[in-house]
Amino acid sequence: MTARLDSLLKKSDEYDNFFVEGGSIITGFGARREIRKLAAKMPPLHGDDVAGFLDQCTSPGRRMLALEWLQADPPPEVVPFIARCLDQPPFIARSLAASTLALIGSDDAKGVLESAYKRTSDVQIRQAIERALAQFSYPIIPTRVRRAFADSETRDTAIKALSNIASYDATDLLLEALQDKDKRSSNAAFEVLVEREDERIAPALITMLTAGRGLTRKQAARLLGHRKEALAVRALSELCKTAEARDLRMTAAFALGKIGNTEAIPALLDRVFDPDEDIMVSTAACISLGKVGDPAVLEPLRRVIDERKHGRGWADLPIERDIYCAAIDGISRLPVPEVPNILIELLESKHEYERAEAAQCLGRLKHVAALPALEKAAAAPAKYSDSRERIEKVLERLAKIS
């Protein structure tokens, strides 16, 4: 093992010149790839062997070897070594040291990062340390996080830090970021707020549905759906009906489906059967009816397919056929015993995209009794190859089960 370790250390020495301060970034990243390959060949080390190895890692190439090796599972006792790396060039090693301390996640590691942040004036290093510190929790918002939040360049890092701070102030800043004109910041805040526990979030989002800008209203509607906020059903139902923008009505319809509350059914049915509604909004409402999963929507979903009033004379166009496929998918998700038979009947539809959708639903339900009907549907004339392929894949899958 000693010979193997010595060999890896000597090979890492060859890359010392690639990790000089002010050197080529492209060259440095190329050298890092090679160092990472060497780290993958490291022998297992434990206890005193780890300390002995790190004592030998004083040159740039060796420090990079140690840092790459430590990415797998850095033990808390290596914090002093990484702290030294945090103060030594080049930037790529210092940045890697900061992220390694975040991986360790101990109070000692946090203390090292906070101390380094205070004493360095290098903007790039401070940003790397801020990204690492964003992984740690705090009872209140640190000043540096507020400062980062106020800067559009570092706001994403601040949002990550806020995700680990449970205070009301942190929630308020996240709600502010959700309304940011910069979609990156808005989406980053969205991802944090999806799982955040704070009873004030739903009322704040409901207010945004009417008081916010277009993007803000859309984000608020989406977030209410992802959070499954039953409190928002009435507001989303109204938005689904009255919003001028088609995308906003569609987003509200999808959100109602995610919430899955039966109180949304009347509003969704209105969107499906309103002759003046845009086909994309009607389709979204149809999908959401299926997600609500109430047996009461079986009859209206059948009406969508049987009455065929949504094709506008162009039912073969993808944008028009989607609503019929959505209705079939919705039917397949209802806890009703006759669902498999309805799907088998639809395998005889004159519209091949409906046959393919029904087949896919039967496959998801693992309804082996549908095999004869599926074989017949697979043999039917098809204009589009993908329709036939979808049915054939279901046939193959169910045949294996049987």
Query: Which domain-ending residue is among 136, 165, 187?
Result: 136
Helix (H, G, I), strand (E, B) or coil at 308: coil
Residue 395 lies inside a defined structural domain of this protein: yes
* Whole-number pLDDT of residue 281: 94
Q: Is the dihedral of CA 381, 387, 391, 396 positive or negative?
A: positive
Tell me the longest C-alpha to C-alpha distance in the chain: 79
Q: What is the CATH number of the domain that holds 64?
A: 1.25.10
Query: Which domain-ending residue is among 90, 111, 136?
Result: 136
Mean pLDDT (the chain) is: 92
* Whole-number pLDDT of residue 314: 45
* Whole-number pLDDT of residue 374: 94
Residue 216 lies inside a defined structural domain of this protein: no
Q: Domain of residue 383: give its range.
A: 342-402
Retrieve residue 191's tokens.
Answer: 């991802």
3-state helix, strand, coil in the chain (%, to 5): 75, 0, 25
Amino acid in the structure at residue 233? V
Residue 224 lies inside a defined structural domain of this protein: no
Which tens digits make up the pLDDT trace of 247-288? 999 999 999 999 999 999 999 999 999 999 999 999 999 999
Residue 397 lies inside a defined structural domain of this protein: yes
What CA–CA distances, in Å, run from 334 to 94, 292, 394, 398?
56, 9, 20, 21
Residue 37 has pLDDT above 50, yes or no: yes
Residue 105 lies inside a defined structural domain of this protein: yes
Q: Is the model more confident about 28 or about 74?
A: 74
What angle do helix axes 143-150 and 123-133 make, rounded to 10 degrees?
110
Average pLDDT of span 48-59:
92
Average pLDDT of span 179-189:
95
Residue 398 lies inside a defined structural domain of this protein: yes
Which of 83, 129, 140, 145 lies closest to 109 in space, CA to CA? 83
Residue 102 lies inside a defined structural domain of this protein: yes
Which tens digits make up the pLDDT trace of 205-236? 999 998 878 899 999 999 999 999 999 999 99
Query: Which domain-ending residue is among 136, 171, 191?
Result: 136
Average pLDDT of span 275-304:
94
Euclidean distance between CA atoms 32 and 25, whole angstroms: 10
Question: How much is the pTM?
Answer: 0.82
Residue 313 lies inside a defined structural domain of this protein: no
**What domain count does the chain have?**
2
